Amino acid sequence: PFDAIEKTGDDAAVDLSAYKDVWVFAEQRNGKLMNVALELIGEGRRLAKEISEDTKVCALLVGDGIDHLEQECYEYGAERVVMIQDPLLKNYTTDGYTKVIVDAVEEYKPELVIYGATHIGRDLAPRVAARLNTGLTADCTRLDIKVSSYIEYAKNNTTLDTSTLDPNDPSTGIKQTRPAFGGNLMATIICPKTRPQMSTVRPGVMQKRDRVAGATGERVDYKPQISESDIRIQIKDIVKSAKELVSLTDADIICSGGRGLGDPSGFELIKEFADKVGGVVGSSRAAVDAGWIDHSHQVGQTGTTVKPKIYFACGISGAIQHLAGMQTSDIIVAINKDPDAPIFEVADFGIVGDLYKVIPEIIAEWDNA
């Protein structure tokens, strides 16, 4: 599974033992935690316990007037919340958030910091990494910390200089996996010598933990040193674009259409289908490239990664780049007139037929179901 390897960070010696705990940037917007933040708290907890029982997962909350989010972080698995609040942090700014996170990281020295690969996470994480002179792996789909498997891997790969690793250091074995070269291979990237190790992780690929009502943890209030002169841009107004209304990552049901729709009007049927079953409309890239639907609906490697309870793929062949964004859905239903279409290989239920006949039948039957 490991086809490529990159090494990040420079050769400056870092005392690895000084770093401890897993931090998750718990991204919030308008006082509401993003789904990916909850997914990453669950993943961070798993990683922390793989490092050692006393390694903690900490949710990093940045903003203003966000005390109410602390409890939710504990309930989804955080053991500690590092709270950074200031009126200047009310809205996200690259400068402001970078400054306070870098300061907090330098003070508390987490071993690993993970962010959602959202617009904000993708903007923030590289800035923080550059300031801290550490590595960053963007857009990960998998994180592993098993020392043993890492060492085994290192031994079998001539491209990795194993002399840089200390097998006795339990913090050495962190592997970050991400698609590379158009999704044709999975690259494994390590930061053997720099800390903290940092990753952005795609929304929808990690599992949220079951919510435990009333769970508690330890709160640390970090008083940020920030002034207006630290922030070079001013937010005058926030205008929500119509595109943002498509929330593929939060949807339980997605009805996606592809080139098999034949023309843009096919999305009217997909929309009717989605409305009937309480879902949202997704699409393949071919449909987006044809100009039939906006890119915000695109599922796949260069679109959104989704994990709904039910994913309907209608007139979609099942190219690897599309599968990369939806194959972990709980149930996949494929409707395609070609019985050999690759989508049927990942489908739990396959319907061979013309979508213009099949979908109206499902719509008609839905109310009776």
Extract the tokens encoding 321.
């780049």
Q: Is 315 annotated as a binding residue?
A: yes
Has 298 been labeled as part of a binding site?
yes
As a whole number of angstroms, the distance between CA 85 and CA 94 comes to 15
Nearest distance in Å: CB 360, ligand FAD: 12
Residue closer to ligand FAD (CB basis): 40 or 270: 270
Question: Is 319 an interacting residue with respect to ligand FAD (CB under 6 A)?
Answer: yes
182 lies in the site for ligand FAD, by CB under 6 A: yes
Task: Report, in angstroms and rounded to the nearest whole number, the Rg of the chain calculated over CA atoms.
Answer: 22
Query: Among 8, 315, 333, 350, which residue sits at the site for ligand FAD (rule: CB under 6 A)?
Result: 315
Is 246 labelled a binding residue?
Answer: no
Q: From residue 113, give the alpha-carbon distance in Å to each of 125, 129, 157, 195, 290.
A: 9, 10, 26, 9, 39
CA dist 260 and 275 (Å) reads: 20
For residues 209 and 285, which CB has a smaller minimum distance to ligand FAD in the complex?
285
Work out whether 336 is an interface residue with ligand FAD (CB under 6 A).
yes
- What distance in Å separates the CA atoms of residue 23 and residue 92, rounded to the nearest whole number? 19
Say whether residue 259 binds ligand FAD (CB under 6 A): yes
Q: Could you say which DSSP state residue 187 is in?
A: E
338 binds ligand FAD (CB under 6 A): yes
Cβ distance 222 to 80 under 8 Å?
no
Residue number with CB closer to ligand FAD (66 or 314): 314
Detail the DSSP E strand segments found in 118-168.
136-140, 142-144
The least distance separating ligand FAD from the CB of residue 241, rounded to whole angstroms, comes to 20
Contact 341, 351 (CB under 8 A): no
**Least CB distance from residue 271 to ligand FAD, whole Å?**
17
Q: How many CA atoms are closer than 13 Å to the CA of 328, on its beta-carbon side? A: 16
321 is in an annotated binding site: yes
Smallest separation (angstroms) from ligand FAD to the CB of 265: 13
Only one of the segments 59-67, 88-96, 241-249, 337-345 lies at the binding site for ligand FAD (rule: CB under 6 A); that segment is: 337-345
Q: Is 284 annotated as a binding residue?
A: yes
> Where does this chain touch ligand FAD (CB under 6 A) — which range of 107-115, 156-164, 349-357, 360-368?
349-357
What part of residues 268-307 is at the interface with ligand FAD (CB under 6 A)?
284-287, 298, 300-303
CB of 218 to ligand FAD, least distance (A): 41
What is the smallest separation between the CB atom of 238 and ligand FAD, expressed in angstroms?
Answer: 28
Of positions 112, 341, 346, 362, contacts ligand FAD by CB under 6 A = 341
Q: What angle do CA 293, 295, 296 make, to 5 degrees?
A: 105
User: Please, which residues have CB within 8 angstroms of residue 177's CB and are 6 or more apart in sequence?
Assistant: 1, 140, 141, 142, 143, 144, 186, 187, 188, 189
- Check the annotation: does 318 bind a ligand: yes
For the chain, the distance separating the N- and C-terminal CA atoms, rounded to the nearest angstrom, is 42
- Residue 260 touches ligand FAD, criterion: CB under 6 A: yes
Contact 189, 105 (CB under 8 A): no
The answer to whether 297 is a known ligand-binding residue is no
Residue 279 CA to its chain's centroid (Å):
21
Q: Which residues bind ligand FAD (CB under 6 A)?
A: 182, 258-260, 284-287, 298, 300-303, 315-317, 319, 321-322, 325, 335-338, 341, 354-356
Tell me the binding residues.
259, 284-285, 298-302, 315-322, 336
